[in-house]
Structure formats: C-alpha cells, structure tokens
Amino acid sequence: MPRPDLNLLVTLDVLLAEGSVARAAKRLRLSPSAMSRALARLRETTGDPLLVRAGRGLVPTPRALELRERVGRLVEDAEAVLRPAEMLNLGKLVRTFTLRTSEGFVETFGPGLIARVGKEAPGARLRFVLKPDKDSAALRDGTADLETGAVGRTTGPELRAVALFRDRFIGVVRVGHPLSHGEITPARYASGQHIGVSRRGLDKGPVDEALVPFGLEREIVTIVGGFSSALALARASDLIACVPERHTGKLRAGMHSFPLPVAPPEVTVSLLWHPRLDADPAHRWLRGCVRDICNDVINS
C-alpha cells in the first residue's frame, strides 16, 4: 500500500478551517484550480467528500467534523517538531500574556504572580480578563494565552490541561450573623436565606443536590453571576453565600467562613492552554510560574 502524501494534512487542515476552496487557496498561496485538485485528492484518499455544496457555500461532512480537531493537532505538533529550538532570554522578553480567570483568582494569586513575572522578565506584562463562560474559543483563536477553571464537558478536547489545586465550597456570612457561632447542622444551614451563584442564572447547584438526602432545600432569594457579587451581598446583609474556599481567600477578608454541613463535590481547578503553544519557551516559562505561585499560596 503506497504511503499517503503527508503534505495533504496541511491542505486538509486549512480547507476544514476555512470551509472555502478560494479562501484556502489564498491562505496557502495556491491557485483555486490547484486547491480544487488537492481537494479531489483528499476526497480520494479519505473516501469521503469532506466538503459539500450547500447553497452558495460549502459545509463539512460528519467525517470532516470528526477529522478537524485531529488534523489540527497533527499539523501543530509537526510544526513544533520542525521549529528551531529557541533560547529564552527572560531579561529581553517583551510580551503581553492574556490570562482568562474566574473571580477571585487575581485577588488571591495575582500579587505573587505579578511579582514573580516582574522579577524574572521585567519586559513581560500580564493582562487578566474575567472569564464570563467556559467557551474555549479565546484559547483557540489566540486572544488568550492561558485560562484557569474546571475541565468539563464543554472544554475543547484539543486543549492541554494541568491541575493547579483542589477547592471545596464553604459558607460565608457577615461577622455577627447567627451562623457565625454555634454548631451548623444541615437543617440550620438550609433554614437561612441564600445567594445563588450561576453565570447561567440556574437556581440549583451541587450544594442543593447535597441537601436532598436530608430532605432539605435552600431558599434562594437572589441569584448573581459571580462570587464577588455574592460576597458583597452577604457582607451587607443576613444572606448566606457559598463560594470556593481557595479561590476567594482575599475576597472573604473580614467575613466569617465556615465548613458546609453537607459535602458537595470538590472542584479541581486546572490551567488550560492551546497545544500550539506547548513548545513556546516563554509560554512554558509562564505556565511554570502560575503552577509555582498557586502551589506557594495554597501551602502557605
């Protein structure tokens, strides 16, 4: 059996990314006829039409959708292998790194990370942006270098991830709140008025599921989109907030925190990035800085 032409992988990657013979030809600096011939060879090699006409455009077949992520990873890995090794000079590094993080990450881990980066690479700058959702598009299109969060069903399968720390949910109230003293039973906890936290506006979560075996249900009087908003409300009222302990250490200053009387699942907070940056020396250095700072703060 003849060996396949591996150059077709690059062509296939661009065709599937562009969804257009003309745009793919322009990107690869080929004539439209040459790109059409390449598509014909790909169809023959894979035994699938890959892109089919739909109205005035082309749409990918199920086989093409299945191949898209795999082909992209193969091309990126090949480019990394063939890329000359670079010696990283942190003293001369001038670069802005964008990190998408959840609420509380900057307040808790930002000071140490900024100090570490400033000391080792004075020309590097960190841009922290709030993570409004779990969509991985920012990592794919390069508008974000790193992201922190829990790996879930919506996380892009091509993304790289490394665990940073485990976190658990705790209760938080203002100082002087009735729950700031005495034993907190499931019934006593559930009887208070609570703040729900959900970026999608959901009124149920892991804590509510953990209360079900006790036959209890929280009274959610308001729902907010983030932990800082929940803590601000709890600080100024008798409402009860439920937030991740390690993520919100600085945000909870001056408040009373307590272990929940039920045990919702712990969350693993991970560092995520796109595989095209795996071999980038500066990116690899920054990933190490984030892991070290998180480890130092958690164990301090």
How does pLDDT run across 202-240, given as a tens digit for each residue? 888 899 999 999 999 999 999 998 899 999 999 999 999
Residues 107 and 252 placed together within one structural domain of the fold? no
Same domain flag for 162 and 278: yes
Alpha helices in 89-226 (DSSP H): 105-120, 137-141, 186-190, 206-211
Question: Is residue 41, in this structure, part of any structural domain at all?
Answer: yes
Cα dist from 60 to 23, 72, 141, 210, 224, whole Å: 15, 15, 20, 43, 39
- DSSP character for 264? P
pLDDT interval class at 35 (50, 70, 90)? confident
Domain count, the chain: 3
pTM of the predicted model as reported, rounded to 2 decimal places: 0.67
Higher pLDDT among residues 86 and 189, named by residue: 189
In a domain, 243, yes or no: yes
pLDDT at 89 (0 to 100)? 92
The answer to whether residue 273 is domain-embedded is yes
Give 74-100 pLDDT, tens digit per residue: 887 777 677 665 678 999 999 999 999
Pair (69, 97) in one structural domain: no
The beta-carbon contacts of 64-68 under 8 Å, at least 24 apart in sequence, are: 64/16, 67/12, 67/16, 68/16, 68/17
Band of residue 46 on the pLDDT scale cut at 50, 70, 90: confident
Q: Which of 165, 176, 180 is nearest to 296 (CA)?
A: 165
Host domain of residue 189: 169-265
Same domain, 154 and 177: no
Residue 144 phi, psi (nearest 5) = -135, 140
Q: Containing H/E element for 227? A: helix 227-235
Q: Are residues 76 and 119 in the same domain?
A: no
Whether 2 is covered by a domain: the verdict is no
CATH of the domain at 186: 3.40.190.10
Digit-coded pLDDT (tens) for 135-179:
778 888 889 999 998 887 767 778 889 999 999 999 999 999 999
209 and 219 belong to one structural domain: yes
Contacts of 59 (CB under 8 A, 6+ apart): 19, 51, 52
Is residue 114 located within the same domain as residue 237? no
